[in-house]
Chain A
Amino acid sequence: MEDQDQSGPSKDMQASGLNRLVEAVRRADSSQSLLSATRDLAASAEPEAATVLVEVLGFNNPGAAVAAVDGLIRLQGGAVEALLQLDPQNYGARAWAVRALAGIGDVRGLELLVEALGSDVAASVRRAAAKGLGSLRLEHLQPTEQQRIRQRCLQTLLAAGHDGEWVVRYAVAAALESLASCPGSSGPLLPDLLAGLQQLSDDEDGNPPVVQLRARLALERIQQS
């Protein structure tokens, strides 16, 4: 953010700027100062910031974690390795990591998202994982590989269509719609996918009106496209 009037700050200056931002996060001694330091670091959009932003996910400070997730999503693929290296025992941090991976849509996050949607105890994490499984970016892969991964996403989402929490089923309906809108390879998935949406649009399984509405909207849009 500094040196805006210079056409190209040197590598050294970038590094020292980053160090200063990292230092500020490490030295933060109140939840407010941690939040603003994290926001600054997130705004730097420096790939080297990823490891530290991932550390912030484990600080048990929701405000700072939200800012860190935003920063990690901004780093896109550059944040994925750091996110995948998280200690699985660090439950709180992992919940935030699922949100970041869902937002990034990188296929390396697939396994973590599948696991989170199937078995995380927090509905907010399952909800984010469902959204992520509907929006993985696969364009760079071979068509057969794309197909295999989409099939995996679909089966995981269909299973979560019976989740006990309405908000997860809502997220599944939205995710199924985005999965159907993937260019090209959704054809063979379509019958199962539509059947899943059909079920969510039904009130027999105790789906509340909002879930039924979302599923019906998805069905309409898919059938119009």
Chain B
Amino acid sequence: MAGPSGNSAPASPADHQAGAPISEAEAIERLRQVQDPSQQYYAAWWLGRMRSHHPEAVPLLCLALRQRRPRDPGAGVEENAVARNAVRALGKLAPLALAAVPDLLEVLEDEDDGLREAAARSLGELRARAAVEPLCRRLAGGPRQAGAVRADSPRLMEPCEALLEALGDIGQASEQVMAVLEPFVDHDWPLIRSAAARALLQLSGQERWGALLVDLLDHPQLQVRRAALMDLGAAGWRPALEPIRRTLAENSLKLMALRGLVEQGSGEPAEPALLACMDELL
């Protein structure tokens, strides 16, 4: 459910080096050293957040995403956290990070599904066409395999939400991609249905997928309504203006969704109506 601003769950390292502003050069040095992973974790996040253009940022992030280490509670950094933040940062560093697509494609095959999830999101943000085939391959089993709940955790076999959204963001509307996406609109989890409808709407512009997302704005769970808001925004589905205004959710999220309608969408309702609604929600 990455929003129009294109970022996923915030990775704010509030508990690492909280709040201390650093320079770009300092961030590069912190990422380069390998003794203290919590410094690397912060530096990777910082470079992505600040959309760094430093020539060493992408090469160092590519090194960092190969960093695998077991969980080290003493350092306050969980398993593979540095690699994950490096992957996330690369998604925000287009066009320089396009050079890192082959590295990200490797991470898409990692055994850590958290890393696969981050890689999918970043490949989507980078609009990496080379990722379409592997993303489709991971989803090919459909809701009953790729989308099956694991025996040992409440997660799915594949990070389906991120994989589906990446296909929508990359924007290749081939028959093969549509055929992979469609079965997921019947997944048991509303968040997965939302992600699938978002991608299908982005790729086809068909009204039925927009209608599916609008229905989810009435879902009893706030978390689902929030996801539908972000997904409508990402797809820029302007007919959702009124349902977005009415749904029960924070104004902040409605404003993000409406920004998506303005920036990603076209047609009716036109911009003055969208902006007037945003003004009311401030």
Contact B279 A174 (CB under 8 A): yes
| Contact A214/B252 with A171-B282, A209-B262 known, Cβ cut-off 8 Å | no
Q: CB of A170 within 8 A of chain B? A: yes
Does residue B172 face the partner (Cβ distance < 8 Å to A)? no
Is B252 in contact with A124, judged by CB distance below 8 angstroms? yes
A67 to B134, CA, bound (A): 49
A19 to chain B, nearest CB (A): 31
B7 CB-CB contact with A under 8 Å: no
Task: Report A185-225 CB contacts with B as 1/0, cut-off 8 Å.
Answer: 00000000000000000000000111001100100000000
The one of A123, A128, A217 that contacts B275, using a Cβ cutoff of 8 Å: A217
Q: Assess the A210–B282 pair: CB atoms within 8 A.
A: no
Residues of B within 8 A of A209 (CB): 262-263
Q: Is B24 among interface residues, defined by CB-CB distance under 8 A?
A: no
Contact A127 B271 (CB under 8 A): no
Residue ID in chain B nearest A214 by CB atoms:
B275
In the bound complex, residues from chain B placing their C-beta under 8 Å from that of A123 are 252
B213 at the interface (CB under 8 A from A): no
The residues of B that contact A18 with a CB separation of less than 8 Å are none
Q: Taking the complex as formed, is A158 at the interface, i.e. its CB lies under 8 A from any CB of chain B?
A: no
Judging by beta carbons under 8 Å apart, are B278 and A208 in contact?
no
Q: Which of B225-279 contact A (CB under 8 A)?
A: 250-252, 255-256, 259, 262-263, 271-272, 275, 278-279
In the bound assembly, the distance between CA atoms of A170 and B252 in angstroms comes to 12
- As a 0/1 sequence over residues 126 to 158 of chain A, the CB contacts with chain B under 8 angstroms (1 = contact) are 011011000000000000000000000000000
Number of A-B residue pairs having CB atoms within 8 Å of each other in the complex: 40
Per a CB cutoff under 8 Å, which of A127, A166, A213, A217 touches B282?
Answer: A127
Residues of chain B within 8 A (CB-CB) of A84 are: none
Interface of A is mostly: helix
The residue on B at minimum CB distance from A131 is B282
Measured between beta carbons, the chain A residues less than 8 angstroms from B252 are 123-124, 167
A123-B252, A124-B251, A167-B252 as given contacts; A210 in contact with B259, CB under 8 Å: yes
A179 CB, nearest partner CB in chain B, Å = 14
B279 touches A210 (CB 8 A): no
Interface string of A163-176 (1 = CB under 8 A from B): 00011001100100
Known contacts A130-B282, A167-B255, A174-B282, A217 near B272 by CB under 8 Å: yes
Shortest CB-to-CB span from A171 to chain B, Å, is 5
In the complex, chain A residues whose CB is within 8 Å of the CB of B255: 167, 170
Least CB separation from B272: chain A residue: A217
Once the chains bind, are A213 and B262 in contact (CB under 8 Å)?
A: yes
CB–CB A213/B259 < 8 A: no
Closest A residue to B252 using CB positions: A124
Output the nearest chain A residue to B264 by Cβ-Cβ distance: A209
Write out the residue numbers on chain A whose beta carbons fall within 8 Å of the beta carbon of B250: 62, 124
Contacting pair B263 A210 (CB below 8 A): yes
Question: CA–CA, A213 to B279, complex, Å?
Answer: 13
Min Cβ gap A10→B in Å is 39
A24-39 Cβ-contact flags toward B at 8 Å (1 or 0): 0000000000000000
A128→B263 contact, CB < 8 A: no
Residue of A nearest to B263 (CB): A209
Out of B256, B272, B282, name the residue touching A128 (CB < 8 Å): B282
Residues on A with C-beta less than 8 A from B259 are 166-167, 208, 210
Find residues 55-89 in chain A having any chain B CB closer than 8 Å to their own CB.
62
Asked if A213 contacts B271 (CB within 8 A), the reply is yes
User: Bound complex: CA of A62 vs CA of B250, how far in Å?
Assistant: 9
Interface centre among B5, B259, B263, B271 (most CB of A within 10 A): B259
CA distance A208 to B256 in the complex (A): 12
Residues of B within 8 A of A (CB): 5, 250-252, 255-256, 259, 262-263, 271-272, 275, 278-279, 282
Starting from the known contacts A209-B263, A210-B259, 4 additional A-B residue pairs (CB-CB under 8 Å) come to A167-B252, A170-B278, A208-B259, A210-B278
25 A-B pairs (CB sep. < 8 Å): A124-B251, A128-B282, A131-B282, A166-B5, A166-B259, A167-B255, A167-B259, A167-B282, A170-B255, A170-B278, A170-B282, A171-B282, A174-B279, A174-B282, A209-B263, A210-B259, A210-B262, A210-B263, A210-B275, A210-B278, A213-B271, A213-B275, A214-B275, A217-B271, A217-B275
